[in-house]
């Protein structure tokens, strides 16, 4: 799959921002439709990278801040509880991406997942609303429901272009 028009294109006179490149996580928060307080899934010190390549491939990873190292040099020989903690404190997926216009003409990026830490993500399309702010940040957002409930929630991930 090739990148959609506008991905990595030369900036126009309007200086339209492009998605292509490497971005670092500023913040990931979730707000809830039932009024409960917002949460930070991987805490206030979460770190992450999302890369959008010129050939239409993306990769994203997010880690909880201050992850504990394993007691073993190999993940395969680490105790099960440590492996579980490592799995639960890291999020990753990758695959082709395309940009499109969503409902109301809102710009969206669609990640077609071919590889993921969570095998249930493979084969899914992760659709993110995409907003570029005047300060140069990129916000990717999506709505779903809290698993096992009808409570709506809104994920908001704010990214800043990585320094070279």
Give the domain CATH number at 91. Answer: 2.40.128.320
- Model confidence at 53, pLDDT cuts 50, 70, 90, reads very high
CA distances from 42 to 55, 62, 80, 112 (A): 30, 8, 21, 23
Average pLDDT, the chain: 90
pTM score, whole prediction:
0.86
The reply to whether 8 falls in a domain is: no
| Number of independent structural domains in the chain | 1
Residue 5 pLDDT > 60, yes or no? no
Within-domain flag for 145: yes
- What values do phi and psi take at 66, rounded to 5? 55, 45
Give the 3-state secondary structure of residue 70: coil
Range in 7-11, 41-45, 74-78 with the lowest mean pLDDT: 7-11
Residue 101 neighbours by CB under 8 Å, 6+ apart: 107, 108
pLDDT at 19 over 90: yes
How far from 95 is each of 56, 98, 101, CA to CA, in Å? 8, 10, 20
* pLDDT computed for residue 55 by the predictor: 95
């Amino acid at each position: 799959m090739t990148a959609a028009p506008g991905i990595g294109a030369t900036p126009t006179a309007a200086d339209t921002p492009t998605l292509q490149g490497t971005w670092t996580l500023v913040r990931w928060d979730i707000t809830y439709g039932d009024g409960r307080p917002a949460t930070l899934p991987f805490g206030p010190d979460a770190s992450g990278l999302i890369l959008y390549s010129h050939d239409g491939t993306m990769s994203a990873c997010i880690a909880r801040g201050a992850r504990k190292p394993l007691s073993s040099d190999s993940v395969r020989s680490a105790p099960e509880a440590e492996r579980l903690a490592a799995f639960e404190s890291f999020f990753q997926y990758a695959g082709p991406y395309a940009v499109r216009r969503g409902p109301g003409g809102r710009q969206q990026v669609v990640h077609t997942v071919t590889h993921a830490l969570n095998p249930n993500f493979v084969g899914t399309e992760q659709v993110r609303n995409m907003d570029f702010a005047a300060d140069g940040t990129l916000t990717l957002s999506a709505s779903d429901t809290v698993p096992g409930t009808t409570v709506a929630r809104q994920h908001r991930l704010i990214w800043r272009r990585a320094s070279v």
